[in-house]
């Protein structure tokens, strides 16, 4: 066989009679025989080893054949497969419509801002109707609950009322800023359709085989400062001695970047690199070059100036794409934080902290939320901020209530929340890094006359145990639920309102009003806020 033919082949050894799972033990076994890499799914009873030549494959087969492992005798099989055929199995298939008359910029705009061709008033009307559709589906699903006694039906009588929704749906709240509103952007570093290193957005879905990247220059939702930063990073990687990351071959250095350009003027830049191709000296030099490069922008003319508050790098050699908490992140410049102001309060944001990306619209959302909490100054009120994150809602409302209790399962977010409360001189708050259902007891011990709960969970809502805990806390008379995906949160709404049962104890809630708040102009996304009130005891 010619050397050229051999170099185009993969020599595979299949090891049989392995146990399911047990991958760490299998790894140790294979390493003891000089094999560092193998392919095995947890439920497979076999594993694949790949080699560049037949000699290496046969040598390992001799070592493993007949080995006793976990009460089984290992056997091996040899096969050859062409490299291009083997790799093709793992490459996503291209889904590009060659008859698409749109330019790349138009395709990107339709992808990231699908409503960009629609006048804003029409966008708002569309989102309002979508909110009503979600609420109507919620009511319909409630009315379809089965095996209900007359008492149970009385608890959800609102769901059986005819002629539309039996509660108020307010006019939608528009975003004060329609363009350039996103304070946080994540950009991919790759190549544009012409193969030139580019910083921007993927021109489609990677799982569809799309790897081309387009600059965000024409994206309506990206602010000018973030576009300026993307262009500056693009200039940097184009002149770099290192290549941009190739998502298919998984080689290259420059992977992605995150920009947080806050309304305060603070700017956070995080650059992600694949560092396995660099030695420590090369990496240290590149970090210094990045610091020198980004600090040079503070002295440029105003239309080119970038005042970087903090600069971070993230080393990530894994296969998954995008900024990840699994990566090793290092602060190169500043303290790793930027600051944002919201309703007269100041908040510290790390690179990983969640914060709404449209600050002016978020102020309208939180103002309406505070209004619905209907704080009576003549009564001592406790605000229960569930899924509190970095504490934004509770802190902005803390001065209007007797005390705030924040519960959040992400410990780092609670660290930020405590720092934010201290920075704003808020002393009537206490935070718990815990699952909500495990610390709901702090409500049971609450002696204040009013307890209002705010639920602002992630896109997919909260676990049913959280809803059950809220229902079982009789002190909670009102819940304000802020949902960024009402379809995914639908089961939460149902669980909160379904009749009392062995699984869902405590009196149910019922919706009393709702409103859509647009935080994401030019996209289909919209926040839906619903006020739920406890059903009167005489209906239990």
pLDDT tens figures, 469-523: 899 988 899 999 999 999 999 999 999 999 999 999 999 999 999 999 999 999 9
Residue percentage of the chain with pLDDT more than 70: 93
What are the DSSP E strand ranges found in 326-401? Answer: 328-333, 338-342, 345-349, 381-386
Residue 276: left if φ>0, alpha if ψ -120 to 50, beta else—which one?
Answer: alpha
Q: Please report the pLDDT score of residue 335 as a whole number.
A: 95
368 within 8 A of 517, measured Cβ to Cβ: yes
Predicted confidence band of residue 277 (pLDDT cuts 50, 70, 90): confident
Structure tokens at 181: 């509103």
Q: How does pLDDT run across 110-145, given as a tens digit for each residue? A: 999 999 999 999 999 999 999 999 999 999 999 999
**Cβ within 8 Å of residue 456, ≥6 positions away:** 386, 387, 388, 389, 393, 482
As a whole number of angstroms, the distance between CA 421 and CA 333 comes to 25
DSSP β-bridge partners for residue 343: none
Structure tokens at 384: 């229960």
Q: What is the model's pTM?
A: 0.80
As a whole number of angstroms, the distance between CA 358 and CA 368 comes to 16
Predicted confidence band of residue 96 (pLDDT cuts 50, 70, 90): low
Q: Of 533, 540, 525, whose CA–CA distance to 112 is shortest?
A: 525
With 80 as the cut, is the pLDDT of residue 374 above it? Answer: no
Q: How does pLDDT run across 398-457, given as a tens digit for each residue? A: 998 888 999 998 888 899 999 999 999 999 999 999 888 888 777 666 666 788 999 998
With 50 as the cut, is the pLDDT of residue 540 above it? Answer: no
260 within 8 A of 339, measured Cβ to Cβ: no
- Count of residues making up the chain: 540
As a whole number of angstroms, the distance between CA 483 and CA 515 comes to 11
Structure tokens at 147: 């095996």
Residue-wise burial string across 448-485, b where 16 or more C-beta atoms lie within 10 A, e elsewhere:
eebbbbbbbbeeebbebebbbbbbbbebbbbbbbbbbb
Q: What are phi and psi of 135, to 5 degrees?
A: -65, -40
Q: Please report the pLDDT score of residue 94 as a whole number.
A: 47
446 within 8 A of 387, measured Cβ to Cβ: no
Q: Please report the pLDDT score of residue 205 as a whole number.
A: 61
Q: How does pLDDT run across 334-366, given as a tens digit for each residue? A: 999 999 999 999 999 999 888 999 999 999 999
Predicted confidence band of residue 97 (pLDDT cuts 50, 70, 90): low
Section 172-179 average pLDDT: 98
CA angle 525, 528, 532 (to 5 degrees): 160
Q: What are phi and psi of 314, to 5 degrees?
A: -125, 125
Q: Please report the pLDDT score of residue 446 as a whole number.
A: 62
| Pairing of the two strands 509-517 and 168-169 | parallel
Q: Please report the pLDDT score of residue 474 as a whole number.
A: 87
DSSP β-bridge partners for residue 513: 168, 531
Instruction: Measure CA 61 to chain center.
Output: 45
Neighbours of 188 (CB within 10 A): 25
Q: Strand, coil or helix: what is 449? A: coil
Q: Please report the pLDDT score of residue 538 as a whole number.
A: 43
Structure tokens at 373: 């909490």
What is the chain's alpha carbon radius of gyration, rounded to the nearest angstrom?
28
Active site residues: 484, 527
389 within 8 A of 414, measured Cβ to Cβ: no
Q: How far, CA to CA in Å, does 405 sit from each of 235, 368, 375, 401?
A: 47, 20, 15, 11
Q: Which helix (H) or strand (E) holds 227?
A: helix 224-238
Q: What are phi and psi of 342, to 5 degrees?
A: -145, 120
């Amino acid at each position: 066989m010619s050397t050229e033919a051999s170099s185009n082949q993969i020599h595979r050894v299949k090891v049989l009679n392995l146990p399911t799972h047990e991958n760490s033990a299998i790894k140790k076994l294979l390493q003891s025989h000089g094999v560092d890499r193998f392919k095995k799914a947890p439920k497979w009873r076999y594993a694949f080893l790949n080699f560049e030549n037949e000699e290496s494959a046969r040598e390992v087969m001799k070592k493993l054949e007949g080995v006793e492992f976990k009460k089984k005798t290992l056997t091996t099989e040899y096969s050859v497969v062409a490299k291009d055929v083997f790799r093709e199995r793992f490459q996503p298939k291209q889904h590009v419509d060659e008859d698409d008359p749109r330019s790349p910029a138009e395709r990107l705009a339709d992808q990231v801002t699908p409503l960009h061709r629609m006048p804003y008033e029409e966008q708002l009307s569309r989102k309002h109707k979508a909110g009503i559709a979600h609420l109507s589906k919620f009511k319909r699903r409630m009315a379809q609950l089965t095996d209900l006694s007359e008492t149970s039906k009385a608890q959800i009588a609102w769901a059986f009322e005819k002629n539309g929704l039996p509660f108020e749906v307010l006019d939608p709240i528009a975003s004060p800023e329609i363009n350039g509103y996103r304070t946080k952007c994540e950009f991919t570093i790759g190549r544009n359709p012409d193969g030139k290193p580019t910083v921007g957005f993927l021109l489609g879905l990677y799982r569809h085989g799309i790897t081309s990247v387009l600059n965000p220059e024409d994206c309506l939702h990206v602010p000018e400062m973030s576009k300026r930063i993307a262009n500056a990073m693009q200039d940097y990687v184009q002149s770099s001695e290192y290549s941009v990351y190739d998502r298919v071959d998984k080689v290259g250095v420059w992977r992605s970047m995150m920009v947080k350009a806050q309304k305060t003027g603070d700017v956070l830049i995080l650059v992600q690199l694949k560092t396995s191709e660099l030695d420590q000296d090369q990496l240290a030099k590149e970090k210094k070059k990045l610091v020198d490069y980004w600090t040079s922008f503070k002295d440029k003319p105003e239309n080119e100036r970038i005042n970087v508050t903090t600069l971070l790098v993230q080393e990530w050699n894994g296969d998954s794409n995008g900024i990840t908490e699994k990566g090793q992140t290092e602060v190169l410049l500043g303290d790793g934080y930027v600051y944002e102001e919201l309703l007269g309060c100041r908040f510290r944001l790390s690179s990983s902290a969640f914060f709404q990306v449209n600050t002016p619209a978020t102020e309208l959302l939180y103002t309406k939320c505070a209004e619905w909490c209907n704080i009576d100054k003549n009564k001592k009120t406790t605000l229960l901020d569930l899924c509190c994150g970095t504490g934004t809602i509770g802190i902005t409302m803390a001065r209007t209530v007797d005390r705030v209790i924040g519960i959040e399962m992400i410990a780092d977010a609670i660290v930020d929340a405590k720092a934010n409360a201290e920075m704003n001189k808020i002393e009537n708050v206490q935070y718990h890094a815990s699952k909500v259902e495990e610390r709901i007891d702090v409500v049971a011990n609450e002696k204040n006359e009013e307890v209002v709960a705010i639920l602002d969970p992630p896109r997919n809502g909260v676990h049913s145990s959280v809803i059950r805990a809220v229902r079982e806390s009789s002190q909670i008379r009102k819940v304000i639920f802020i949902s960024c995906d009402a379809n995914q949160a639908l089961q939460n709404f149902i669980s909160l309102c379904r009749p009392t049962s062995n699984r869902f104890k405590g009196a149910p809630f019922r919706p009393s009003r709702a409103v859509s708040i647009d935080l994401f102009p030019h996209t289909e996304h919209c926040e839906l806020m619903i006020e739920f009130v406890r059903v009167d005891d005489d209906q239990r």
